[in-house]
Chain A
Amino acid sequence: MNQAYEISHLLSGVMLVTSFALLYQQRIAAVLNAFAAQSIVLALAVAWAAWSSNRPDLFITALIAFTLKGIVIPVALRRTVTRLGIHREVEKVVGVGAALLVGLALTGLAQALVVKVASGTASHAREELALALAIILLGFLMMIVRRNAVTQVVGFMSMENGLILAATGARGMPLVVEVSVAFSVLIALFVFAVFVFRIRERFDTVDIEALDRMRGDRR
């Protein structure tokens, strides 16, 4: 039994590491690879939870995560990037070092918060929750430290990975809810994609700051 938790912790930890990797990747292709890796590790973690705690419905979640987020979305995004011709380095708002330091602080915050808030629950569930929260916060951080629309999409998807991990650990989320979350994320992804193409058509770039210049923003 103890071993089961060790392994699920290992997988969650790997996901957190990939989240940090997402933060410091310079090129879009590398960002997409890191995201695909995170999604596959998520699928493994969910599958492990399904096998170890004997909940077969979680296998479906794992399958969805693997095919949709591990393969389909990264491949689709990669094709988009190729079509848009943006293999170049991604513009960042803050430097890699600063982003990683903030990420570390957020991980610490997640840990501290979960220790305080969920003090009544078992320690392994707490650890799991802390890791998931850290992944969510890092996904959000990624959305705001990059200027590129595609990387914002990736940050958003990474947040969703954290959510699913938390749901698996919490043993509470029924499949219906999970499927609906997955679908809403998918729809959000479509919206993002449409916007990316629109932006590209109009402004010949996917740098979102171009929108502000268009609007005559005061900065």
Chain B
Amino acid sequence: MPELSALGAALGALAAAAVFATLARGAALALVYPLCAMAALVLGAVDLRVLLTGTELTQQLPIGLPTIGFHLRLDPLSAFFGIVINGGILAASVYGMGFDRAKELTRRVEPLFPLFAAAMNLVLLADDAYAFLFSWELMSLASWALVVVRHTDPESRRAAHLYLVMAAIGTAALLFAFGGLAGPAGGYAFDTMRGHPPQPMVAALVLAAALIGCGSKGGLVPLHAWLPLAHPAAPSHVSALMSGVMTKVAIYGFVRIAFDLLGPPAWWWALPPIILGALTAVLGLLYAVLDRDLKRVLAYSTIENVGVIFVALGLALAFRANGQHDAAAVAMAAALLHALNHSWFKSLLFLGAGAVLHATGRRDFDGLGGLIHRMPRTAAFFLVGALAASALPPLNGFVSEWLLFQAVIAAPALPQAALHFASPAIGAMLALAAALAAACFVRVYGTAFLGRPRSAEAGQAHDAPIAQQIAMGGLAFLCILGGLLGSVLATALAPVLGDLVGGGLPRAGSGPTVFSLVAFDPARSIYDAPVIALFVAIASLTTLVVVHRLSARRTRRGPAWDCGFPDPSPATQYTASSFAQPLRRVYGAAAFAAQETVVMPPPGDIQPARFSVVLVDHVWRALYAAPGRAVLGLSERLNALQFLSIRRYLVLMFAALVILLAIAAVTT
């Protein structure tokens, strides 16, 4: 089949690029990113074709473990996620072409970048447990190596260490999940697993293990702690890949296990993903609103979006378990579309943050500001991404959030009390998350791009190279297009939805216009993005024209408004911390035990006043620091066992033997 050979050729090209980048030096390295971009294009095209035609590609390779082999399969679900992933890889590769090879650490990045890209594609193609876990681990290790590229920075090393530990825990959990799916007979091919769904208790354990394994990779609370450290530590285009794309591989893993391999669901399977997802959504944004680092805020926002996707997946499980296939399709479409949309706007935002970091050398809000004048294009693209991330119509983020809220509104129809009583709470939490997201991005955009520069570096910033502008512009275009053509995307999802939940959205064209997105039936819920966009455009253009016509004076440029008192020092501007203060006052005490202290010197004293905020990360303290201390304390005690005399070791062995014999004598 030509698709299969194209797939093989593209993966081979990525592998070749990795090997080439390890060997090559100097200007030849410039070939790596174009090669990656080409490979991503080909892979994306194959994925698109498989998704649209519904044909499956399968291949078995004679490598891997002897009895298992290495099965590959590209079905519509893998193909959909393949489009998500290869879009991100394409944008990151184009962005990478703009790097100044003399100044940046590209020689350490370039061999790993194609490897990371190929590994993510392989995870999607894997059709047996061995291939899946192998590719998954390859993906983890490649991304870990990319995180530790700046290994001279202790923060970077700490992030990488934490990431490695969490990735190992996640893979171990997935190993258990596949062990449970394979059952005592040990059928590790996905086909065999599909044919023999496990017992209910085993299935519940598999679901828990999948939630831990995929949740830790995707950043589900409370397994998220590594993500805001590791994602920003990598070079920015890799951050875009990790945040925008790798989290989607985690979602794919969960969908594959929970919806495809695990057999018919029980209704209560839906509770853990829904509850954890809602918690993740709110907590992720509370962290994001309070953080002062541009890239870390974006990483926290990724956590929020993963939570939103998990809520949608949980709802889809609940609907499917109750036989409400069309509602399940709405929830599933929300999850999948949100994965796609998030990959676009989060990649865009991370690339924008990379451009800012490159131009100013800073990513803390206290050192940015006024960039809209110095990097106008980046600012424009970033604005599109920020609007999409805040889920404002008519951009793409709104489409999936709208579908999700349709599913939440339909949830009270579920027969189980736990689900229909929980659904208003879930809806409220999602609404809170959406509002917090808007606040978060107003804060990000306001402090980084508006106002006056807070540092000399920000004052001398320049716009990104043309390749990087193309990458960002392309993604911004996709964000707008995806918002307008949400109904087309939803139609393209039909084969995936049919496979996973056995239902579908109302067919295209059943709404008032061709581009209407209809969730259940046209009488109940329609989202008509082009109409709304048209209305927004007409309204704003009219306002613009009217204001310009009626105003007495020509447009003039004045100093940035600073509450009416432009002070010479830019430090007097409204800061990121000032912006977060109301939210910190409302939620900080409950969520982070926030304490604000103001030290005001008495009148006449010339010491400066001091303001400080202390935040406590309860999740970190309870789930990471405490077990860490316990393990350390235990190993400190057990350490004495390493320094016994030979006779004492013999006594220990003898005691163990005698105790075991005594147990055998008593029990048998």
Contact = CB atoms under 8 A, between A and B. Distances in A.
A interface secondary structure, majority: helix
Contacts, number: 46
B654 interface: yes
Contacts of B646: 208, 211
Interface in B623-668: 640, 643-647, 650-651, 654, 657-658, 661-662, 664-665, 668
Contact of A211 (B645, B650, B664, B668): B645
Contacts of A137: 658
Interface stretch (A6-14, A42-50, A69-77, A109-117): A109-117
A201 interface: no
15 contacts: A93-B647, A110-B661, A113-B661, A113-B664, A116-B664, A116-B665, A116-B668, A117-B664, A140-B657, A143-B650, A208-B645, A208-B646, A208-B647, A215-B643, A218-B643
A109 B660 CA distance: 11
B interface secondary structure, majority: helix
Interface of B: 640, 643-647, 650-651, 654, 657-658, 661-662, 664-665, 668
B658 A106 contact: yes
Given A109-B662, A113-B664, A137-B658, A217 B645 contact: yes
A218 B640 contact: yes
A113 B645 contact: no
Contacts of A211: 645-646
A208 B645 CA distance: 8
A212 B648 CA distance: 11
B270 to A, nearest CB: 50
Contacts of A208: 645-647
A200 interface: no
Interface string A185-219: 00000000000000000000000110110010111
A132 B654 CA distance: 17
Given A143-B647, A147-B647, A208-B645, 14 more contacts: A93-B647, A112-B665, A117-B664, A117-B668, A137-B658, A140-B650, A140-B657, A144-B647, A144-B651, A208-B647, A211-B645, A217-B643, A217-B645, A218-B643
Contacts of A147: 647
Nearest to B647: A144
B662 to A, nearest CB: 6
A211 B657 CA distance: 26
Contacts of A218: 640, 643
Contact of B650 (A113, A116, A144): A144
A112 B667 CA distance: 11
A109 B668 contact: no
Closest 8 CB pairs of A and B: A113-B665, A212-B645, A112-B665, A144-B650, A116-B668, A144-B651, A140-B654, A116-B665
A141 interface: yes
Interface string A27-59: 000000000000000000000000000000000
Nearest to A113: B665
Nearest to A143: B650
Contacts of A217: 643-645
Contacts of A112: 665
A116 B662 CA distance: 11
Contacts of A106: 658
B663 to A, nearest CB: 10
Interface centre among B640, B647, B657, B661 (most CB of A within 10 A): B647
A116 B665 CA distance: 6
Nearest to A215: B643
B56 to A, nearest CB: 56
Interface string A73-116: 00000000000000000000100000000000010011011001
A141 B657 CA distance: 11
A13 B662 CA distance: 22
A109 B651 contact: no
